[in-house]
Structure 1
Amino acid sequence: MSKVIISSHQDFEPYMGKELGVSDYLKITQEQINLFADATLDHQWIHVDEKKAQTESPYKATIAHGYLTVSLLPVLWAQIVEVQNTKLLVNYGIEKLKFNQAVTVNSEVRVRATLVSAVNLRGITKAEIGVTMEIKDSNKPAFQGSVVFLYHFN
C-alpha cells in the first residue's frame, strides 16, 4: 500500500472512518529497551534483567515498556501518512489507550491507522487517528487507542 499524502484539511475528508494504512514491522531490541529505561529512569527488572526475566517472568523474556511502544507511533505513522504543507504539527493527545499484551524482546510490531475524525478549528485541523499496534504472529495487539494531532497548514 502506498503512503497517503495529505496537504490540506480537505485531503482528510475522503478518508473519514477508513483505514489509512499499515506501517512496516519494526523489531524491538534489548538495546532499545535499555536505552528507554535509561531515558525514563524505569529500570524495572522485567524490562532490563534478561536472566531474571527468563526464569521469573511469565513471558520468559524481557518486555518493552508500554510507553516505549507508544513512543514508536510517530515513526510508524510517518510510514503510513505524509502530511505536507504544514507550518506546525502538535501532538495534542492520546484517547482511550489500552495496553492489551506485553511486547517481548525481539518481537516485531507495526501500526494500523484509521482516520476517526478531522475537524477544522478555525484553520487548524484536529485529526483523531485510531491506532492499533499489532505484534507479528500474535492475534492480540500490544495496544489500541487514538492519537490526536493538530495540523497548522500553510
Structure 2
Amino acid sequence: MKRPFAVTTLLFLVLCLTVWNAIRLYAAIADWDALTEFAPRPGPLYISITASFWTLSGVVLWMALRRRNPRSRSYFAIYVLGYTLWWWADRLLLQITSPNWPFAAGLTVFLLGVITLDLFNKKATSYFRQRETHEQTPTDSNPA
C-alpha cells in the first residue's frame, strides 16, 4: 500500500524537528565556550541535554513511522504533546518574554489541529493497521 499523504506529513514534521534539534546540539557543542560566557541561564548544558533528547527520540519515532509500527501513532502523539509542553515551558520560564506570544499560541493550536487530523485520518489509520493484520496472518502456505 502506498503511504498516505497524512503519514508523509507526519514523517516530514518529525524529520524537521529532529534535524532542528540536531543542529541545536551541534551548535551548542561547537560554541560551548561562547555560550558559557555570554548566554543567559541555563546555558549550553541545558541546550545540549534537551537537543540530544529530542534528536534521539525523533530518530526513534521516525524509524517507527517508517516501519509502520502500529504503536507509532501513539508514540507520535506523546512526542508532539511532550515537545509542545517543553517548548512552551522553555519559552515562558527560561526566555525573555516577547510580544509575539499570541501568534505563537495561535500557530501552536493550528499545528496541533493539523497533526490531530493527520493522526486520525482514515487512510493513515488503515495504513498502520494493514501491517498489524499482515503480521498476524501466517505466511507459510505449506503446512507440515
Q: Considering the TM-score relative to the shorter chain, is it more than 0.5?
A: no
Q: What is the TM-score of this pair, normalised by structure 2?
A: 0.23
Q: Which has the larger Rg? A: 2
* Greater percentage in strand: 1
